[in-house]
Amino acid sequence: MLPPGALGHSGDDGWLWVHVNLADARVAPYLRAHVPDLPKAALDLLLSVGDRQQLHADDACVYGVFADLVYRLEGLSDELGLLHFVATEKLLITGRRDGLHSIEAVRKSLRSGQNPKNHTALLESIFMQVTTGVEEKSEAISDELDFIEERLIVDLEDDIPKRLAKCRRLAVRLHRLLSTQRSVIGRFEQNAWQTTGKAHVLKTSHIAQRLDWLDHEMVALRDRAHLLQEEVSLRMTDQTNRNLQLLTIVTTVFLPAGVISSIFGMNVGGLPLEHDRSGFIVTMLLLIGASGLVSTS
């Protein structure tokens, strides 16, 4: 934990970025006690557990919630997490409950020597890293669909429907994510001009353009996955019909034989050929002849 008062002293010309783990029970009491002049609505949203994306601006700060892909030890996952943030004139506070791709990417860029000129530039960089993670996933979906399409040309294998469903589900989720983020930024751009504070000089036009482009790509991938699912469904239906046709033929061929064997298998007196030594041969000839007659008709 930072010492008390550290969040209120970033220097006359400096600024401070603080990233916290909101799953830590000590974070909420510390921020409520030591963050100076932070609006209650912004602090409440920063510490909230809601899952609705939003972006607000008032005279004191910019604050909101943005979704991002979760980053695990093995790399970028398909799960979604939430980034909570508040940006005042000289302070940027971000928080998460899961490891996020955007934060990890920004950390790496800072360690490599990149130096954003202010806290809003850093927040813009975080937003752009969110879109970068989605772009990586869109490329992975495209490569997976290419692979599935190549295999479909050869044959329909058992694992293709499951892999295709996974691709389409991820494309739908990411499309929903991107469209929501674009809507959130659009509302922010409409409302931000009404405020007069210095904290919200947040440039979002380039982020909105990138979201629009990515959403267009994601819709194309979603539609492509849908078309491939339709092709798989048609092939599965055709394969089922062939199996049913074969089953019908087999059942039809052996139906007369089943009827004859049932008749001669009854435990009643007076059956023909019961005491004839050639009865078995005659019965087999009847069975074969009836099956052959049905199969040629």
Q: Quick one: pLDDT at residue 15?
A: 82
The residue type of 218 is M
Q: 136 is written with which tokens? A: 């990586």
165, 272: one domain? no
Q: Quick one: pLDDT at residue 138?
A: 94
Final residue belonging to a domain, choices 191, 221, 238: 238
93 burial class (0-12, 13-18, 19+ CB within 10 angstroms)? buried
Q: How far is CA 50 from the centre of its chain?
A: 19
What DSSP string describes 89-126?
SSEEEEEESS-BHHHHHHHHHHHTT---SSHHHHHHHH
Chain position carrying tokens 């394969």: 239
- The answer to the question of residue 170 being in a domain is yes
Round the average pLDDT of the chain to a whole number and report it: 84
Cβ(125)–Cβ(116) below 8 Å: yes
Query: What is the domain-level CATH number for residue 60?
Result: 3.30.460.20
Q: 178 is written with which tokens? A: 């991107």
Instruction: Give the integer Cα–Cα distance in Å for 232 and 164.
Output: 9
Chain position carrying tokens 């921020």: 31
119, 18: one domain? yes
- The answer to the question of residue 253 being in a domain is no
Q: Quick one: pLDDT at residue 5?
A: 56
Distance between start and end Cα atoms, the chain: 87
- Give the confidence band of 198 by pLDDT, cuts at 50, 70, 90: low
pLDDT higher for 21 or 295?
Answer: 21
Q: Quick one: pLDDT at residue 282?
A: 75
Q: Looking at mean pLDDT, say which of 98-112, 114-128, 192-206 comes out highest.
A: 98-112
Region for residue 198 given its phi and psi (left: phi exceeds 0; alpha: psi -120 to 50; beta: otherwise): alpha
Q: Region 182-188: what's the mean pLDDT?
A: 90
pLDDT digits (tens, 9 = 90+) for 130-149: 999 999 999 999 999 999 88
- Give the confidence band of 246 by pLDDT, cuts at 50, 70, 90: confident
117, 211: one domain? yes
- The answer to the question of residue 13 being in a domain is yes
49, 179: one domain? yes
Q: Quick one: pLDDT at residue 80?
A: 93
Q: Quick one: pLDDT at residue 8?
A: 54
pLDDT digits (tens, 9 = 90+) for 256-286: 777 777 776 776 666 676 667 777 777 778 7
- The answer to the question of residue 250 being in a domain is no
Instruction: Give the integer Cα–Cα distance in Å for 274 and 291.
Output: 22
pTM of the model: 0.76
- Residue 174, domain extent: 6-238
pLDDT digits (tens, 9 = 90+) for 14-67: 788 999 999 999 998 988 888 867 888 999 999 998 888 999 888 778 899 999
Instruction: Give the integer Cα–Cα distance in Å for 265 and 279.
Output: 13
54, 126: one domain? yes
212, 281: one domain? no
Q: Region 159-179: what's the mean pLDDT?
A: 92
Final residue belonging to a domain, choices 238, 257, 279: 238
